[in-house]
Structures are given as C-alpha cells and as structure tokens.
Structure 1
Amino acid sequence: MRVAVVGATGNAGTSVLRALKKKDEVDSILGIARRMPDMDAEPYVGCEWESIDVGAAIHEEDALDRLREAFQGVDTVIHLAWLIQPNDERDLLRRVNVHGTAHVAQAAVEAGVKHLIVASSVAAYSPDSEQAVRDEEWPTEGIQTSHYSVDKAAQERVLDDFSAAYPNITVTRIRPALIFQAPAASEIQRYFLGTHVPVQALDKMTPPVLPLPKGLSGVQAVHADDIGEAYALAAVKRAGGAFNICADDILTPQDLADIVGQGRYVHLPAGLVRAAIAGSHKTNMVAMDAGWIDMALSVPMMDNSRAKTELGWHPTHSAADALRELIAAMIKGEGGDSVPLRPRDRDYSTVPGMRTTVGEGASEETPSGDEDVSLRGDAPQGEFGRGASGISDRVTKDLIELYLSDHLTGATAGTERIERMEKDFVDTPVYPQISQVADKIRRERALLQQIIHDLGFKQKPYRQAAAWVGEHVGRLKLNNRVLSRSPMTLVLEAELMRSAVVGKLGGWQVLHDNAEDLGLDPNIFASLEEDVWEQVRALDEVHEYARGRAFRDDVPTFSPEGSEGDERHEE
C-alpha cells in the first residue's frame, strides 16, 4: 500500500514515518510538508517528498489542486499538519488547522483515496468537571478558552461533515495525549516554554517545590514511538472511528513533583497560575498562553482500551518514562533533522550535506556532498581543529582569531534577522524558503562557534552582544507603518539577508584556503561555499515575490488574497 503523510516532519510525523517503515504492508511513503527535512537522514531517507502548503498562504483551489495531484495512487492519507504558533494569529491558525484539514479531506476523496486518518487530540473533548476516565463517546465540543481546543473541536466537525458526505471513505480519528520524545525536546520548549525559560538549569538545580494549579488531578502522555505505531496500525488495518491513544499510567501531581523537582509540590489557585501565564505570554517570556492551563484543568482522562482491542495496540513506554526522556533531552537541547525538530544547542546540530568528521587527521580525500558534519563534542574525532598550539606557524593566530570572531559577529546578526523574518512572514507563500535558509544559517553559526572553540580561540562575546543589540535596534524602523507590517518590509529584509549571505562566502573561502594550516578538512568549506548560492537563490525567490506585491494596491503581501489577515484590508 502507498501512504501519504501530511505534516511528516514534526513530532508525530517523524514517529509515524519510523513506524510505517517497519510495516511490510507499506510499499511506499510520500511525505508532505511546507519545509523539507534533511532527506538523507532517518527517518526521512527513502521517502518521496512534496512541499505543499495546506492553507497558510495559499488559495483554496491551489491547495486542492496540489494535494489532489500528490494523492494520486495513494491508498491512505495520514493528516498530521497543525500550526500551534503564533498563538495570537487566529485567522492564520484557523486557515491551516481547520480549513487545511478540509482541503486535505476533499483532495483525498477527489483523488480516489479510500482511507483518511486525521490527528485529533484529547483537547477536542468537552470539559469534564470530574476529570474521570472517558472513552471515545465523550462529547467533542472543546474548551472554549483554549484556541488549540477550539480548533480541534472545529476539526472534528469538519470530519463529521466529511463522513456524512462520503460514507464510502473510511475515516479514522486518532486522539492522543501529550506526545513526548527526545528528538522533539527543543521543539516542545520553543512552542510551550519559549527560549527565556532556563530549562537547562534543571541539570544543576531542581525546584525544591513544584507549583501546580489547584484542580489539576493528572496528566496523560504517550511516547512518540507508541503514537507512531498507533497510526501505522490504523493504516494497515483500515480501522475506522476514533481511538484514544495514551500510556496506561496517569501522571499525578506527586509523579510530576518526583520527575521534575524534589518530590514536593504546592497547589496554587488556578486563577493565579492562569494570570501568571497570561502575563508571561503577553511579555513574550513564555510561549504558551493561558488557554493551555484551562485545557489541562478541564479535559477528561482518556480510556485507551478501544485501541488495544481493535488495533492490537499496546503502549511500550509509560507516561513517566516518556516525560523523563523529554526533560533530559530538553536540558541538553536535543533535536532532530527537520526544521520543526531543530535542536536548541550547538552540540546537537548538524550541517546538512556533509556527514564526515572534521578534525585532526581529516583527509582532503574525505567525500563531501552526501554526508553530515556532526557538531557534537562527543562524536568520534569530535574536535574540528588541533587547538591553538597545533596551528601551523605560517598562520598569524591573532589575526585569524579576530577574523573568525568578526564573522561570528556577522553570523549572530544574520541569525537574529532571518529568525525574525521566519516569525514575521509565516503567512506568505515564501515562508518555506525563509525558514529553510534560517535553519541553514543557524547551523552554520553553530559550526563556526565550534571551529573557533576547537582552534582554541576566544569568541569575544561582547562583539556578538553588540551585533544582537544592533540588529534589534534596527527593527525600530517603521517603513511608514506603526501598528502593522509594511508591505515594503519583506523587500528590504530579503535584500539585506541576500547581501549578508553573499558576504559570508568570503569567510568560507578563507577557511578553505587555510584549512591545512588550521588542521581542518577543506571539503567542509567547499560544500559550504556551494550552499551559499543555494541560499541566494532561495532569497531571490523571496525578493521576487515581495517586489511584485509590495508596491501595488490590488494584491496582498502577507496572506491569501481577500484574507482578513492582510494589512491592506485593515482600517
């Protein structure tokens, strides 16, 4: 059978790919996502790939056309695509999450697909004042103060209507608990905690008392491997209906205190916790909004017996073990080989396109172009250089140290700028190009940091701090707009980033020409030089899109034509 997975690069999608590959019944897998993963890395290798936007910045007919074409010859479609952030962009979230589900379902039936599996959630369920264990018959009207829950309930109504209109299509709804795995650690931190919460401090110090909202009776979770297996079993068994997927154990407040803290917890008034989260979200200190607290205090606990009976599914991880794995990975900053799963820290990053180890003893004959450079300090031959004492006397060390520090300063400013573009232009058709350039620039900066460290040089952090401040101050220009984005902003940002990307070419050329004296592998930098032009081409596409719209009144810049989200339609 041929299976298409929409949203195949995130937490659930990556796990579903792993599980599908183990099923003899599955002959081929089509992965669909806006942003492509590293297709040479597991579990993405061996799959076919299509970049398709299901609703963020695409007209409905265009989305249907592209999906319909992709689904030709597909037996089962597994729809996982879901946008959690930005919380405050409700129109954008609804376009992707609710309308996007409708687009996938309609395209599937028009392409002749006979089985549709959709990722619902425990969040779809209506409030349960008792928070008792409920089966799949519990109502799915959602929690009205949680945007995530509201959209999950709306998605259920889309599936109700679809099932009524097309009773010959098997529709499966998977309703998982919280999904945990190590490769998703940094993604989960970004989406829910944010970058300001010092999760890594848990490695040195755990909270003596864990504060929890009063009324929280328990939390359910499932390991990503188990949720992937549930989707794969539903696909090969053609099982229809709804399935609750969760580990057998429920995490009580005491369990949470034992795992996260020192075994002690205190219940705080739910209103106080909610207000604290709301305030922290408004000031960008915490990524999640207060709706997540409302949902945690309201949803029922799920009974997973139907999945066991009808799918033959059984969890292989406890919720407690899944949470322990997640926290340990969060502390380290682990991640995966797709943009959504990107790691937080340098030590868990890789540079796509190269897998050879760089360091003492590296050979010029080392192949490049089809492997990844591991940046992990504990990798075999994990050092990138021989240290300052091992650098050839032909190199003027203080000058090369200053030169690399200056390039790191530029890389810091460039990373800040491209990450802001990635956040600000998520509702444009060129978001995939921006996001994938951002991912490469982040990884290249991590590589440069590692090289400076391993050569025994200093990074001169005050220079990077100045670059960070300068870039943030530069954001204050208004482009003749105060309360909304100027359509001209994308044009200017693309031009600045294109110049910065070309500028870094010189740095890779210098390292390439001096690699032997520095104890580095020149092939690394030859490949990075080539990739500069790939990034320039991507930014050219961004600029072409922006300049064709920014200076016209008849077409929108930031969202599909006619959408309420475009500034041209605001008063």
Structure 2
Amino acid sequence: MRVVVVGATGNAGSAVLEELSDREEITSVLGLARRLPETACEPFSHAEWATVDIQFPDSVKTLTKLFSGADAVIHLGWLIQPNSKRELLRRVNVDGTEHVLKAAAEASVNRIAVASSVGAYSAVDDDQPRDESWGTEGISGSHYSEDKAAQERVMDEFEALHPDIALARLRPGLIFQAEAGAEIQRYFAGRLAPVQLLQKVSPPLVPIPHGIRTQAVHARDVAKAYVEAIIRGARGAFNIASDDLLTGEAIASIVSGRSAGRASIALPFPPLKPLVRAAHRARVLPMDEGWLEMARHAPVMDTSRARSILDWHPEASGSDALAELLEGLASGEGHGSIPLRPRSQSATNEHPLPSPEHELPSSIDAGLLRSYMADHLAGATAGLKRIQAMEGAFDDTAVYPQLSQVADAIESEHQWLSELIQAQGFPRPVIAAPALWLGERLSRAKPYARPLKRSPAALVLETELMMAAVTAKRQGWEVLSDYADELGIEASVFDRLVEAADDQRKDLGEVHTYARQRAFRTDRATFVPGE
C-alpha cells in the first residue's frame, strides 16, 4: 500500500510514521506538512516529503496531485494554537479537513482515516462509558471541541456523498509520549512553566481542578489504530483510549511519584476558570479556559468497537503514558520537526562545538574576538525576536511556512553561537543584547503601521530588514570560518552555516515577492486567505 499522511510532523504523526515503517503491507509513505522536518532524522526518514497548507481552497489541486496513486490517506493535520485566532484555527482544522477529503475523492483514494477526538463528543457529567453512538455536538466554551464537532459534520456530509469510500474517524483520548514533552509545554503550560523541576522535585501535594477525569493513550498505541484502520478498510467511528481512567487523584499520584495515598489538593472549578482566562489573556498561559471545560465534561469512552473490528488493544496504560510524558516535559524532549522541536534547541548535532580541552592560542587577540562574537550574538538576539514576531503576525498567510522555517533555523543557530561563545570561555554579553532587543522593539513602532492592525507594508519592510540581518550573519560566519582552527571548529561547520544563511535568504526572498505584490494595491484585499 502507498499511504499519504497529512500532518505527519506532530505528536500522532511521528508515531504513525514509525508504525507504518514496521508494516510489511506498506510499500511507501508520503508525509505532508506545512513545514518540513529534518528528513534525515528518525522517524521522518521513513517517508518522502512535500509541503502543503490545507487551509487554503487552492490546496485541493495540490493535494489531489499528491494523493494520485495512493491507496490510503491518514489525515492528522490540526492546529491547536494560537487560541486567539479562531478564524485561522477554523480554516486549518475544519476547512482543511474538507479540502483533504475532497482531494482524496478526486484522486480516487478509497481508504481514509481521519483524526477526530474525544473532544467531539457532547458534554456529560458522569463516568458512564459511552460508545461511538454518543452525540458529537462538542462542549460549549472549548474551541477545540467545537471545531472537532464541526469536523464531524464535514465527515458526515462526505460519507453521504461518497458511500463507496471507506472513511474511518478515530476519536482518541489525550495522546502522550515522551517526545511530545516540549510541544505540550509550549501549547499548554508555556515556556515559563518550571517543568524542569520535575526532574529534581516530587511535590508531596499537587493542586488539581475538582472533577477532572480523562482518558489517555500512548502515541504508539494510537498509531497502531490508524494503521489498522487503513489496512482493514475500516468504516465509521472508533474510540481509542487505554483502560484506566485518569482522575485528579490518579494524576496527582503520578506527578508526585506516589504509588498510593492522597497526593492532590482539589481546586474548586468556579474560581479556577476565570483565573485561567485571565492568565491566558495576559499571555502567561497558552491554553484557555475551554480546555478545563473539556477535561471536566468529556465522556469516558467505551473502546469495545476498536477492539472488535480493528483487533486493537493498548499496550501502555494511560498512567504509564502520562508518566512518560512527564519525563519528557521535565527533560524537554522532542523530535526533528518544528512542532516537536526540543525545548533546548541548538545545532550541536550538525555543528559540533570544540572539545572541553580546547583553548584559544596566544596568537589570537581574545578580547577583540570576544567583542566581535558578542556583538554578533546581540544582533542575532534582535533578529530572532523580529522573525518570531513576523512568524506570529503572518501565520494566516501563504508564506507562513517560509517564515516559520527561517525562525526555527535562526533560533537553533542563535543558541549554537551562544554555546560556542561560552565554550571559548567568554561570558555572554550583558548589555549589548538587551539594548539591541529594545531597539528592535522600538523599530516596529513605525509611522506607517495601522493602530492595532498589521500594515500591508509591514511584511515588505520587515522582510527587507531580516534579509539584511541574514546577510550580516552570513558575513559573520565567513569571518569565523577564517579562524576555525583557532576556535577548535571544523571549517566545514561554517560552510554549512553559510549555506543555511543562503537558504534563509531564499525563503525570505519568496516572502518578499509575495508581500510586495500585494502591499500597495488598492484594487484587492491585501492578505486574503488562499491568495
């Protein structure tokens, strides 16, 4: 079988790729994503790759070509953040599902598995197990649940139009694995959450919202369910979860490291909800209060149908999956893709640092070199903040993949340069970097910017500034290349960094072309999704 996986770089997608690589029935795999992973790394090396952004209507043409000759499509593409951009989430999640299904039908794909969720189900207030016949109207107040319910309606309509196509909709509980630790921190707890302390401290008492109970499943187990569904040509809905129920007490026991005994402090739900809402609106907490609603009111799922029709049985308990996730949270684990990138991300694998025994020779003016490298790091800090702001501001445009790829590469190189400076025994700059960061922030207060709205011209000028910054960085790598031996670095390392800068300029050139053709026109909208 030739299989195409849409959204193949995330939590479930990475596990599905690994499972597909172990199946004799699967002859080839094509992975699709907005942003390509490190294709030489596991598990992404098991697939061919192509980019596509499913939110746009014209993606149907692209998808149809990519699906040509495929026996099955597994659709996992879903955008969880940013919560504040509801139109963007709806286009990616609901419209994107419609585009994938339409393209699959036009390409004559006869087996499809789609990632639905326990979140699609209507709210309950008890622990009675529900099978797949329970209503899928979603849980009010949760944007994730509301979009999953809307996705179910898209699949209902598709099944009515294409009864000859085997469409399986899988409704898993929370999907956990160690490699999703850094991703889940970014999406829910935030970068400032001190999750690293879990490596050193086991809290005796853990505060848990009252009434929380949920089901989980290990990513490996949910991947088996997706693959079984397409191999068997399964139809209909399937609940996917481990047997055990994660109550507040059970979660607290796992977090605290206790095997039994009282480990939780029940937090009353009514005052907690506005606190989470306030923290989210203050941008302290990425998740909003809707996730509390879903955790409180999602039903317990009966998984009998998956066991019977798919011959599916979870190998890991929900408790084991959660314990593994907590280890991943503490250590910041991840994979070689942008969604799953580790918390501490540097390019040390591709660009090694000098050995601990290395020392600068006396022929080098250490003070001048330190100053030069510190200035470049300060400039890199300002550039990183700029490209990250651009990535967030223009995430609903067709050039978001390029912006995101550049931002990810610059973040990795920034950390590597910082580590290189410290490896030479130089301290990090304490004045220049904050000063340049402040200057970069002030530079965005431009007279052409529309109050509280992004300017059509902003992307043009911001891209030009970033292209200049990348050019300056490239020159910096060339300078350091002349001193590679003295720094204890292979010259080829700087050659690769120069090539990476050229790639970044190319990506930014595509962004600039897109922006300049739209920015100053009066006869059309500037950044209309799909244009």
Q: TM-score range by the shorter chain?
A: over 0.9
For the 8 Å contact 1:332–1:345, the answer to whether it is kept is: no
User: 1:264 Cα shift?
Assistant: 2.3
Show the counterpart of 2:451. 482
Residue deviations 1:446-486, cap 9 Å, x none?
Answer: 21122122222211244333333333333333634112111
Aligned ranges 1:134-153 → 2 under 5 Å? 134-153=130-149
Q: Residue 159 of structure 2: SS of its match in structure 1?
A: helix
Tell me the TM-score normalised to structure 1 length: 0.89
1:528 maps to amino acid = L
Q: Residue 134 of structure 1: SS of its match in structure 2?
A: coil
User: 1:401 Cα shift?
Assistant: 1.6
Show the counterpart of 2:102. 106
Show the counterpart of 2:223. 228
1:452 maps to amino acid = I
Match status 1:331 vs 2:330: yes
For the 8 Å contact 1:191–1:287, the answer to whether it is kept is: yes
Show the counterpart of 2:306. 307
For the 8 Å contact 1:79–1:118, the answer to whether it is kept is: yes
Measured at CA, do residues 387 and 473 of structure 1 come closer, stay the same or move farther in structure 2, by a change above 3 Å? farther
Match status 1:73 vs 2:42: no
Query: Structure 2 residue aligned with 1:471, among 427, 440, 459?
Result: 440
Q: Residue 275 of structure 1: SS of its match in structure 2?
A: helix
For the 8 Å contact 1:38–1:44, the answer to whether it is kept is: yes
User: 1:12 Cα shift?
Assistant: 0.9
Residue deviations 1:24-64, cap 9 Å, x none?
Answer: 00101111111111111111114221111111xx3x2x211
User: 1:90 Cα shift?
Assistant: 1.3
Match status 1:185 vs 2:155: no
- Structure 2 unaligned segments of length 5 or more: list them: none
Match status 1:294 vs 2:297: no
User: 1:499 Cα shift?
Assistant: 0.5
Q: Residue 214 of structure 2: SS of its match in structure 1?
A: coil
Residue deviations 1:196-251, cap 9 Å, x none?
Answer: 222223334454432222222x2211111111111111121211111111122211
Query: Structure 2 residue aligned with 1:195, among 191, 194, 210?
Result: 191
For the 8 Å contact 1:211–1:268, the answer to whether it is kept is: yes
Residue deviations 1:406-429, cap 9 Å, x none?
Answer: 111111111111111111111111
Query: Structure 1 residue aligned with 2:488, among 507, 511, 519?
Result: 519
Q: Residue 45 of structure 2: SS of its match in structure 1?
A: coil
Measured in 1, the distance between the counterparts of 2:530 and 2:224 equals 40
Residue deviations 1:145-203, cap 9 Å, x none?
Answer: 11100000000011011101110000101111111112211111111112222222333
Aligned ranges 1:527-546 → 2 under 5 Å? 527-546=496-515
For the 8 Å contact 1:478–1:486, the answer to whether it is kept is: no
User: 1:444 Cα shift?
Assistant: 0.6
Measured at CA, do residues 327 and 557 of structure 1 come closer, stay the same or move farther in structure 2, by a change above 3 Å? farther
Show the counterpart of 2:245. 250
Measured in 1, the distance between the counterparts of 2:327 and 2:434 equals 29
Match status 1:83 vs 2:79: yes
Measured at CA, do residues 320 and 470 of structure 1 come closer, stay the same or move farther in structure 2, by a change above 3 Å? farther
For the 8 Å contact 2:34–2:53, the answer to whether it is kept is: yes
Q: Residue 297 of structure 2: SS of its match in structure 1?
A: coil
Structure 1, 260-269 or 508-517: larger mean CA deviation? 260-269
Measured in 2, the distance between the counterparts of 1:32 and 1:561 equals 18
Measured in 1, the distance between the counterparts of 2:26 and 2:102 equals 23
Measured in 1, the distance between the counterparts of 2:81 and 2:523 equals 29
1:179 maps to amino acid = I
User: 1:497 Cα shift?
Assistant: 0.6
Report the count of equivalent residues.
Answer: 527
Structure 1, 34-43 or 323-332: larger mean CA deviation? 323-332
1:384 maps to amino acid = P
- Structure 1 unaligned segments of length 5 or more: list them: 356-371, 375-382, 563-571
Measured in 2, the distance between the counterparts of 1:10 and 1:478 equals 40
Q: Residue 338 of structure 1: SS of its match in structure 2?
A: coil
Measured in 1, the distance between the counterparts of 2:432 and 2:316 equals 46
Match status 1:548 vs 2:512: no
Match status 1:460 vs 2:429: yes
For the 8 Å contact 1:211–1:265, the answer to whether it is kept is: yes
Show the counterpart of 1:32. 32
User: 1:510 Cα shift?
Assistant: 2.1
Query: Structure 1 residue aligned with 2:236, among 235, 241, 266?
Result: 241
User: 1:561 Cα shift?
Assistant: 6.2
Measured at CA, do residues 192 and 113 of structure 1 come closer, stay the same or move farther in structure 2, by a change above 3 Å? same
